[in-house]
Amino acid sequence: MNRRRLLAAAGTAFASLAGCASVPGTPPVFVDCPDLSPEGESVCAHRAIDPPVVLKPSKWTVAAGEPDEIRFTLRNRSERTYRFRVDARVMERTDEGWDWIAPPLIVGGRGQTLGPDDSAEWLMNVGEARRPESDDVWWIPPLDLDPGLYGLLSSPVSEGGTRYDCLAPFRVESP
């Protein structure tokens, strides 16, 4: 195998392991993962190698001021059952670190269960309100976000009590 093929294969394998191969665009790989919980483990979609649960965006970037949407999927890749709250929160990456930009955006539906190989999904609108077609998708009301780096956070807890702070980063770019 020549060097170019070997490097291409290694890059594809790494992206697949990281869970990013199915997300269009370029992930914000140089972004840190916030340390949010002294008793939890922070897991970021753009850096995850093989976590038991991961939260991934449907795309890495959206344009500011343009109507768009991002779907976020929380997937349980383990044999354990996890409990999670649907009131995921949006954070912004600033010079000082990660900051909350809004209170929990979904009310009700707390204490959901995510079994082995199950997934849960949120739909976030940017600039325009479009409710999801399915009741199985939690809807985050439209946000008017300035250009910058953001992330959606969900913190599932396993039946054994292990907490994972799952952050799915995304970038809002100038049009």
Angstrom distance (rounded) from CA 48 to CA 51 = 6
Q: With respect to residue 7, please indicate whether it lies within any of the assigned structural domains.
A: no
Domain membership of residue 39 as a residue range: 23-173
Give the angle subtended at the CA of 149 by the CAs of 146 and 155, to the nearest 5°. Answer: 115
Q: With respect to residue 11, please indicate whether it lies within any of the assigned structural domains.
A: no
Q: Give the distance from CA 119 to its chain's centroid.
A: 12
Q: With respect to residue 6, please indicate whether it lies within any of the assigned structural domains.
A: no
pLDDT surpasses 70 at 53:
yes
> Is 63 in contact with 173 (CB distance < 8 Å)?
yes
If we measure between CA atoms, which residue out of 175, 41, 39, 167 comes closest to residue 97?
167
What mean pLDDT comes out for the span 94-107? Answer: 77
Q: With respect to residue 35, please indicate whether it lies within any of the assigned structural domains.
A: yes
The pLDDT, as a whole number, for residue 15 is: 36
Angstrom distance (rounded) from CA 72 to CA 33 = 17
If we measure between CA atoms, which residue out of 11, 162, 143 comes closest to residue 72?
143
Angstrom distance (rounded) from CA 82 to CA 46 = 21
The pLDDT, as a whole number, for residue 73 is: 93
Number of domain units in the chain: 1
> Is 32 in contact with 46 (CB distance < 8 Å)?
no
Q: Where are the beta strands (DSSP E) in 77-160?
A: 82-84, 89-94, 97-100, 112-114, 119-126, 137-143, 148-154, 157-158
Report pTM.
Answer: 0.76
pLDDT in tens, 1-14: 433 333 333 333 33
Residues near 7 by Cβ (< 8 Å), separated by ≥ 6? none
Q: With respect to residue 162, please indicate whether it lies within any of the assigned structural domains.
A: yes
% of the chain beyond a pLDDT of 70: 69
Q: With respect to residue 87, please indicate whether it lies within any of the assigned structural domains.
A: yes
Q: With respect to residue 1, please indicate whether it lies within any of the assigned structural domains.
A: no
What mean pLDDT comes out for the span 34-57? Answer: 75
Q: With respect to residue 124, please indicate whether it lies within any of the assigned structural domains.
A: yes
The CATH number of the domain holding residue 45 is 2.60.40.10
